[in-house]
Amino acid sequence: MSQRKRAASSRRSKVIPMRLDATFFFERAVQSLDRYHYDKALKYFRRAVEYEPENPVNHCNMAGILSEMGRYEESNVILRSVIDQIDPAMTECYYYLANNYANMEQYEAAEEALVHYLEHDEEGQFLDEADELLDLLGYELNRPTKLSTIKSRENLYAHDKARELLEAGRFAEAVRMLEEILVRQPDFVAVRNNLGLAYYYMGLFDKAISTISEVLEAEPGNLHALCNMAIFYQHGNQESPLRELLEKLRKTVPFHPEHVFKLATTLGIIGDHREAYRHFRRLIRTGELANEPSLHHFAAVAAVNLGRYNEAERHWNQAQKLDPNSSVAAFHLRRLPQVRSGEEKPPVHYHYHLPFEEQFRQWETKPGLVSEALKQDPLIRSSFFWALRHGDRKTKVQVIQALGLVADEEVIESLKAFLVDPKEEDELKRVAVLVLRSIGVQDSLSVTFGGRPLTLEARRKSERLPVWDSSWQIVLEQALEGMSGRYDVVQQHDMMTLWVDYLSRVYPEVPKLHKSSGWAAALEYWTAKMHRRTVTYSDLVDRYGASQASISRYANRIDEACGIREKLDLTSPSFRGKK
């Protein structure tokens, strides 16, 4: 080969072929835009469209250039073709249309396009710009624009509503709403955090742990999730992971007041009152939340647990000054001398409300007050649901009975969930069943008794009892005690149902229950007969300490109201002889 031919061959091998595709023309268009060469940019975007005619982005780019050049009508034709023919889901085209119409001074058309964008676009890429355009259109049209919703903000609005439900103690509703949001937006961390709390308040401990663990997998440093998990660990007596987490929380110094408050209350609940007090004092000193009476109350609780009684008194006085209508600070100030002397224990609950024992003492003579408070005060309502899961046995009994005075859907769902929790005592569940029946819940109930699931059959509807008297409860408890070990759960449930049925029929003319043991024995008597079990008055007299005459008299009263003999066909002489 000659030298000239070799040189030519060498030059040809060094030529890099140019690949002409949509990307090439897109890059050329962008370079032209950077130099403000709109004509060239438009030409290159047209070529990009020719190479990829089904790509809506190329069309939108071309429409954007035409809009920049003031050729709004041509731009709109392209945008309409994208919506009508290429990709109807490309909702940002409506925002571009609205801008074009506004520049053409066609304000009503601009408003129509903008409303469509806001109500259908899920991403919200141009929300700030849309707000500015709404202001302009409102000025030009001399009226506000009517919007039914802003699609991209729906999850935010729904989250705010769910938080309100959570704070109001309506946990089941909050859970449903939060779960729906996560289906639409799985990466919404705040929603997952609140969902974990809602599960916890409902007693779904494992689901709460699992949900908060998902938050920490996505954001290991999420303070709200770390605090929630610490409380969950304490509730579950998981000491080892709690210690490890506490070390991390004690080293955390948050900046935002909301985070400081969350950390402080968490440490207090866990029992680290010293660290909690340090953060509460920091919040008070910085002044961010210094006018919040609850903050001073929490600081006082931490201080009194540290033996710093003078500081606790000062904080409670400040809380009372900031919230003179509340009785919380006054109550603790009255108790403070007894706490100082060691006669009473300091409060340990970080809640801005009276202790349950004090609330029930105030309400026991006026049942209507507790009903009104539970319906109107979200803080009291949520605290009652919390106590249903985490209070002591006495408190739970009081709470179950108090919730029966409200008897709304949330109460019913919470009591039903309580019935299937294997960790709750069977006796408490019997009280819950009684309350549910007394407020008119007559459908079948799923219950876990003695560690095994059961279904209590539906009962016919009886007149709702507007109150539940403590004397009625005494009769019930004596009957349950007398029947314990002799009757199964279903038979005990039937006894409770009979008692509610009797009270419902005679209310409000309920007789004075001076001899509760005789009434309890009469209930067992009829329960035994309903289940074809042998029972004698002698057995009942020995077990309940009531006279045979009293038991017979009360059994007849129950029969007169409920018609048990007629239903069981027990009117024959042979039956009467088997008493």
Res 311: pLDDT: 94
Inform me whether the pLDDT recorded for 579 exceeds 50.
no
| Per-residue pLDDT tens over the stretch 439-464 | 778 788 888 887 888 887 775 544 55
- pLDDT score recorded for residue 18: 47
| Residue whose pair of structure tokens reads 């109201």 in the numeric block | 561
| pLDDT tens digits along 120-146 | 776 667 777 888 888 888 888 888 877
Return the pLDDT at 267.
93
Please enumerate in sequence order all residues whose Cβ is within 8 A of that of 468, keeping only pairs 6 or more positions apart, or say none: 401, 404, 405, 435, 438
CATH of the domain spanning 256-352, picked from 3.40.50.1100, 3.40.50.460, 1.25.40.10, 1.10.540.10: 1.25.40.10
Domain ranges of the chain: 22-153, 154-252, 256-352, 462-579
Whether this model's pTM surpasses 0.85: no
Average pLDDT over residues 202-208: 80
pLDDT higher at 33 or 419: 419
List, in sequence order, every residue forming a beta bridge with 448; answer none if it has no partner.
453
Q: Which CATH number fits domain 154-252: 1.25.40.10, 1.10.260.40, 1.20.140.10, 1.50.10.10?
A: 1.25.40.10
pLDDT at residue 5, as a whole number: 45
**In this predicted structure, which of 167-171, 333-337, 540-544, 558-562 has the lowest mean pLDDT?**
167-171
Q: What is the pLDDT of residues 481-522, one digit of tens each?
A: 888 778 876 787 788 888 888 888 888 888 888 889 999 999
288 or 339, greater pLDDT: 339
| Section 315-334 average pLDDT | 90
Tens digit of each residue's pLDDT (9 = 90 or more) over 63-99: 888 888 889 998 899 899 888 888 888 888 898 999 9
C-alpha angle 199-205-206 in degrees, rounded to nearest 5: 105
Q: Report the phi/psi class of residue 20: left, alpha or beta, with left for phi > 0 and alpha for psi in -120 to 50.
A: beta
Give 55: exposed, middle or buried? Use CB within 10 Å, 0-12, 13-18, 19+: middle
Q: Which of 351, 339, 333, 338 is nearest to 306 (CA)?
A: 339
Pairwise CA distance, residues 269 & 259, whole Å: 15
Mean pLDDT computed over 553-570: 85
- Position of tokens 């029947």? 483
State the first-to-last Cα distance of the chain, in angstroms, to the nearest integer.
Answer: 130
pLDDT at 219 over 50: yes
CATH number of the domain located at residue range(s) 462-579 in this protein: 1.10.472.10
**CA pair distance 67, 58, nearest whole angstrom:** 14
Instruction: List the structure tokens of 154.
Output: 């729906």
357: nearest Cα among 322, 395, 300, 318: 395
The answer to whether the 22-153 and 462-579 domains have the same CATH topology is: no
Q: How far is CA 377 from CA 121, 291, 380, in A?
A: 38, 21, 5
In this prediction, residue 34 carries a pLDDT of 66
Long-range contact list for 62-66, CB < 8 A, 24+ apart? 63/93, 63/96, 64/96, 65/29, 65/33, 65/38, 65/41, 66/42
The maximal CA–CA distance of the chain, rounded, in angstroms, is 136
CB atoms within 10 A of CB 228: 24
Task: Report the chain's mean pLDDT, rounded to a whole number.
Answer: 81
Least confident of 69-83, 209-223, 305-319, 389-403: 389-403
Domain at 22-153: CATH code: 1.25.40.10
Give mean pLDDT, residues 238-267. 88
Model confidence at 8, pLDDT cuts 50, 70, 90, reads: very low
Q: Is 453 helix (H, G, I), strand (E, B) or coil?
A: strand
Amino acid at 132: E
